Amino acid sequence: MDPVLWNDWHPVAASAALAPGALLPVRLLEEEMLVWRDASGVVHAWNDRCPHRGARLSLGWVQEDRVVCAYHGWQFDAAGACRLQPAQPHDTPPKTACARRFAAREAYGLVWVCLGEPALELPPFPEHADARLRKVLCGPYPVHACGPRVIENFLDMAHFPFIHEGILGAREFTEVPDYRVDPYDDGLGERGMTGVIATECHAWQPQANLLAAGGSMVEYTYRVVRPLTAILTKLPAQQGGLAEAISLHVQPEDEEHCRAWIVLAMSNDSSSDEESRAFQDRIFLQDLAILESQRPKAIPLEPGMEVPQRADRLSAAYRRMLKALDLRYGVLPQER
């Protein structure tokens, strides 16, 4: 398994969807998992397999803060240790009778899991702490594509007039003005990562956000802070200096399937959360057919497999970032 992604944090569930006592099956990097919340509110992430006969633990239930396997009733405490084997209730379960656990945390309205040893802090999203901005979680959006393809599409402005015509772009404004691309320090030191930032990005948008009264020039800044996390801030000309932020976090289920989570940090306008989600749903679903049509499924990192254009400077920098990290999952070539 790719050590870069194995030892990084990935979103797997919405915090609000994980009620105490619920067992939620999820998939991450080909690992079948379950996440659950105990009575004290702590989130746990386990391999979705009972060590007895391999049944899915997510088919069971939670009883007094113990996960009960539906097959033979084995009970596992929050630390993953088996505390009861009903077929031999007076015996002490062996120490090997335990669930395989993973590191789990919550942030930005999401449950995050690291399958290996966490090498980094969670991806920084400082706009989420801005009290002036309203936070709305969108998705997840299932995509039959690799994670890097989804991130690269998020970084691409040249498709706005075609895929998002009438919302994020117009056919009269197809030119992508030149912009800056630089390395980006996320400020976390050894627990962080050097990513990519694009500034001075401009696009004419007929409807820059849900309540836009008309078309305007919009200034974008893109930050790629992890291989599968990117954040954009956008400032419509009429918005009075308050930039909105959209963060995209991709959950890689396997090399050809992922789920995209989007967190909005938006102006506190009169729209409802449901209206904001519907607007974001509309935009993402416009991208979906293109994303799922791209070949090869893995994103090429070597020159010559695709023909870039000048407007692709940000995605080219993103690919160089992945290559420098020696990422091998969802990219070509995989053997280096």
- In this prediction the pTM is 0.95
Computed from CA positions of residues 177, 178, 179, 183, in that sequence, does the dihedral angle turn out positive or negative?
Answer: positive
Report pLDDT for 268: 76
Does the structure show a pLDDT above 80 at 241? Answer: no
Q: Please say whether the beta carbons of 195 and 224 come within 8 A.
A: yes
Neighbour count for residue 207 (Cβ, 10 Å) = 19
Q: Please say whether the beta carbons of 160 and 174 come within 8 A.
A: no
Strands (E) across the chain are located at: 10-14, 23-28, 31-37, 43-47, 61-63, 66-68, 75-76, 82-84, 101-107, 110-114, 133-143, 180-185, 194-205, 216-226, 229-236, 244-254, 257-267, 299-300, 331-332
Give the list of residues 6+ apart from residue 37 with CB closer than 8 angstroms, or none.
Answer: 18, 19, 20, 21, 22, 43, 44
Q: Which residues pair with 44 in a beta bridge?
A: 36
Q: Please say whether the beta carbons of 234 and 216 come within 8 A.
A: no
Instruction: Return mean pLDDT, the chain.
Output: 95
Does the structure show a pLDDT above 90 at 239? Answer: no
Average pLDDT for 103-129: 98
Does the structure show a pLDDT above 80 at 335? Answer: no
Report pLDDT for 243: 85
Task: Identify which has the larger pLDDT, 239 or 104.
Answer: 104
In the numeric block, which tokens belong to residue 218? 């919009």
Does the structure show a pLDDT above 70 at 240? Answer: no
Report pLDDT for 209: 80
Average pLDDT for 316-322: 98
Strands 133-143 and 66-68: unpaired
Average pLDDT for 112-141: 97
Q: Which residues pair with 33 in a beta bridge?
A: 26, 47
Residue 245: name the closest of 226, 265, 261, 230 by CA: 265
Question: CA separation (Å) from 57 to 13, 38, 54, 277, 321?
Answer: 17, 15, 9, 32, 38
Of 21-35, 97-111, 210-224, 255-269, minimum mean pLDDT range: 210-224
Task: Please report where in the chains the tokens 């009620």 appear, as a residue.
Answer: 19
Q: Please say whether the beta carbons of 38 and 44 come within 8 A.
A: yes
Does the structure show a pLDDT above 90 at 238? Answer: no
In the numeric block, which tokens belong to residue 20? 């105490």
pLDDT in tens, 13-56: 999 999 999 999 999 999 999 999 999 999 999 999 999 999 99
Report pLDDT for 270: 74
Task: Please report where in the chains the tokens 């999401």 appear, as a residue.
Answer: 110
Question: If pLDDT is split at 50, 70 and 90, which confidence band does 155 have?
Answer: very high
Q: What are phi and psi of 193, to 5 degrees?
A: -150, 145
Provide, rounded to the nearest whole percent, the portion of the chain with pLDDT above 90. Answer: 89
Average pLDDT for 206-216: 81
Task: Identify which has the larger pLDDT, 315 or 207.
Answer: 315
Neighbour count for residue 179 (Cβ, 10 Å) = 18
| Helix/strand/coil for 199 | strand
DSSP assignment of 112-161 equals: EEESS---SPPPP-GGGG-TTEEEEEEEEEEESS-HHHHHHHHT--TTHH
- Residue 45 and residue 9: Cα distance in Å, rounded? 12
Q: Please say whether the beta carbons of 214 and 239 come within 8 A.
A: no
Q: Give the distance from CA 94 to its chain's centroid.
A: 38
Average pLDDT for 120-134: 95
pLDDT in tens, 262-311: 999 998 777 899 999 999 999 999 999 999 999 999 999 998 899 999 99
C-alpha count within 13 angstroms, C-beta hemisphere, residue 24: 21
